[in-house]
Amino acid sequence: MRKVHVYDTTLRDGCQAEGISLSVEDKLRIARRLDEMGFDYIEGGWPNETNPRDQEVFERAREEEWQHAKFAAFGSTRRPGIGPAEDAQLQYLVASGAPTITIFGKSWDLHVTDVLRTTLDENLRMIEESCAFLAESGAEVIFDAEHFFDGYRADPEFALETLRAAERGGAQCLVLCDTNGGSMPLFVRDVVQEVVEGFGTPVGIHCHNDAGMAAANTQIAVEMGASQVQGTINGYGERSGNADLCTVIANIELKSGLRALPAGRLARLRELARYVDEVALVQPNERAPYVGADSFAHKGGMHVNAVLKTPASFEHVAPESVGNERRILVSDYSGGSTIMHKLEHIYPGLDRKDPRLQEVLAQVKERENEGYQYEAAEASFELLARRVFGEDPTLFELHGFRVIMGKHSEDEEPFAEATVQLELRLPDGTEEMHTASMGDGPVNALDLALRKAIEPHYPELGDIHLVDYKVRVLDAGEGTRGAVRVVIQTADNGRTWGTVGVHQNIIEASWQALTDSIVYGIITAREREEGGDASG
């Protein structure tokens, strides 16, 4: 089986994205995970006198025992008018101790004459001499032909000559870069085919996503014989980003039948995508191909009915092949199949003709018409369904709450105080509770006061914590009078669940979502302890 080498540049090109900044430790954590996944190359950064952080990355990397990947340093060809031995940044590349060094050179005549302000012949000497200097140091040299496709479009012979110069200098891979990200797949196909057939050195591909074609251009380059793919995890990168390696790798293995990672590693792809997002403090793209939470999510009633019978009817690959899972969403588009599937873990053997299924569906449709949404609030949906099925998940009855917001002066932080009055429904009777707490904001104060009231009787609450809180105005035309939807994500020991509340008053909407999250967490934790299914 043909092997395609995976070259990750998340730690360098990915860090050029707006809002992404990785510390030395962050870079090493991600690098270790990429190595565990079986990536072939990890580009650690650009070590030079102006970048002490990346210098430290390479110092630390030399102390690591990499199991699979080669750590790569990145830089440019020498400057015009000087020899490579006199170029400080080439010296830094050698001093990095990286076994692989990737340098970029100009392959578009526009950049040579208008940006570097030098001649085409000097540019070719810069490429050849820089590659030779680095190769003589003992490093594997990869040449990134910057702006190659734009350069080929402007002057094909000069663009190809830059590759010949790198090849003469000892480059061991010629990477064609769509740096502006504007090329189309059929053009990329023809150019890559010409280069693969015309050069004896292996060819790589490096695409940006400015026209939304990075993954497509990478894929078609592989089909034409490119043996190295460059990109970033989750498509991080400058402007519209780089080719997303999560998509690229899955396409290579599942669509082309080629090998990109060692056997068995593809099933950890989604885990890798989430891990890198977490380290980089980036909100996951839930619609990302293959690894997004929505990639295998089904909402329409007819779609759900079909996919539950024959998954291939609406799924192009098995979710498990990339470590993902099928999700059946509840909404006003849902049918009986969706509702039954969502409730089977609570009520095994549920009859499709059970009239309570239609009652649940009717309530979902009615409440979504009021602004509720259950796609990301499955815990609220489950509590609704339990009530329709005759259960009473109520743990307490509210007798009142009050929230006070205040601020003593312009220079002081605002304060929030909440009081709650509840009647707890306990196995041996009821108990009145009246508690108060200060918080960082009104919702936090309510949460603390509620916990103070019920945690002595429900110790499971100690493991339950809020992980996300989102507010959306449902009718912006109503201004501050408009209803809002609050969605809360909550977690405990390895589980997460979502709840929803809707009201014109944001505190009331928050209270609905907050109490649902706590009630669901407690009752399902107890069911789990008793041997019941609490997956939700």
Q: What is the pLDDT of residues 283-316, one digit of tens each?
A: 888 899 999 988 887 776 677 777 777 887 888 8
The DSSP letter of residue 118 is: S
Any idea what DSSP says for residue 78? Answer: P
Predicted structure pTM score: 0.70
Ramachandran angles phi, psi of 173, nearest 5° = -155, 135
* Summary mean pLDDT of the chain: 90
Which residue has tokens 């929230």? Answer: 403
Q: Taking a C-beta distance cutoff of 8 angstroms, is the pair 69, 115 a contact?
A: no
Q: Which residue has the tokens 């690591």?
A: 64
pLDDT band at 534 (very low <50, low <70, confident <90, very high): very low
Burial of 146 (0-12, 13-18, 19+ CB in 10 A): buried
**Residue environment code for 4-42, b if the CB has 16+ CB neighbours within 10 A, otherwise e:** bbbbbbbbbbbbebeebebebebbbbbbebbbebbbbbb
Query: Using CA atoms, how far apart are residues 301 and 158, in angstroms rounded to an integer?
Result: 57
CA atoms within 13 A on the CB side of 482: 14
CA distance 231 to 387: 49
Per-residue pLDDT, 324: 87
Cβ proximity of 368 and 332 under 8 Å:
yes
Phi-psi region of 371 (alpha: psi -120 to 50; beta: other; left: phi over 0): left
C-alpha pair distances (Å), 14 with each of 24, 67, 478 = 14, 23, 41
pLDDT digits (tens, 9 = 90+) for 18-28: 989 888 989 99
pLDDT in tens, 386-418: 999 998 888 999 999 999 999 888 888 899 999
- The whole-angstrom separation of Cα 407 and Cα 190 is 67
Q: Which residue type does 11 have?
A: L
| CATH architecture designation of domain 5-262 | Alpha-Beta Barrel (3.20)
Q: What is the structure's pLDDT at 477?
A: 60
Report which DSSP code applies to 233. G
Q: Give pLDDT tens digits for 3-15.
A: 999 999 999 999 9
Residue 330 confidence (pLDDT): 62
pLDDT at 535: 39
Residue 430 vs residues 457, 458, 465: alpha-carbon distances, Å: 11, 14, 26
Best mean pLDDT range from 157-171, 274-288, 327-341, 491-505: 157-171
Tokens in use for 271? 């885990």
Architecture of domain 396-529 in CATH?
2-Layer Sandwich (3.30)
Residues 6 or more apart in contact with residue 443 via CB below 8 angstroms: 469, 507, 510, 514
SS3 270: helix
**Which CA distances in Å does 503 have to 380, 468, 486, 512?**
15, 19, 9, 9
SS (H, E, C) 340-387: HHHHCCCCCCCCCCCHHHHHHHHHHHHHHHCCCCCCCCHHHHHHHHHH
**342-367 pLDDT, tens digit each:** 787 778 888 878 888 888 888 888 88
Gyration radius of the chain's alpha carbons = 29
Q: Are 12 and 46 in contact (CB under 8 A)?
A: yes
**Token code pair at residue 42:** 């990890």
Q: Which pLDDT score is estimated for 10? A: 97
**Quick one: pLDDT at residue 309?**
76
Q: What is the mean pLDDT of residues 67-79?
A: 95
Task: List all residues 6 or more positions away from 361 whose beta carbon is below 8 Å from its beta carbon.
Answer: 334, 335, 336, 339
Q: What percent of the chain has pLDDT above 90?
A: 65
Rounded distance between C-alpha atoms, residue 364 and residue 373, angstroms: 8
User: Where in the chain are the domains?
Assistant: 5-262, 396-529
Q: Which helix (H) or strand (E) holds 339?
A: helix 336-343
